[in-house]
Amino acid sequence: MARKKDCSTDALRERLTPEVFHVTQEKGTEPPFTGRYHDCKTSGMYVCTCCGAELFSSDTKFDSGSGWPSFFAAVDPQRIRIERDVSHGMVREEVLCAGCGAHLGHLFPDGPQPTGQRYCINSASLDLDAID
């Protein structure tokens, strides 16, 4: 179950670090290979760091070599919102949390099977609920 959290801008500004606030609320991108999950092999559920929604399972995580945590599928497509992003001179598919609107990362069509998709997600947008 998703944990209930206050996701008003004021609450988030108080609760999140400046970097996490920038990535999730201002569509920032953490530098590659700097986040806490790009190299993480721990089993568990990655949840939205803002609202707690369960977004990505470690079962779908793969090593893309990009420097960002990468998944070939979301736990449930309903929990993800995709929007066209034309910033930075590129046309990309932006990935947002459907629950709270937090920016998560981008979706690319060059992932592994079975989906062929690559959800390229900022560590800053995620919290891992590890399976003990």
Residue nearer to Fe ion on the CB measure, 16 or 120 = 16
Distance of closest approach, residue 48 Cβ to Fe ion, in angstroms: 3
DSSP string, the chain: -PPP---SHHHHHHHS-HHHHHHHHH---PPTT-SSSTT----EEEEETTT--EEEEGGGEE--SSSS-EESS-S-GGGEEEEEE-GGG--EEEEEETTT--EEEEEES---TTTT-EEEE-GGGEEEEE--
- Residues in contact with Fe ion by CB under 5 A are 48, 50-51, 53, 97, 99-100, 102
Q: Active site includes 120?
A: yes
Residue nearer to Fe ion on the CB measure, 12 or 51 = 51
Residue nearer to Fe ion on the CB measure, 2 or 40 = 2
Positions marked active-site: 120
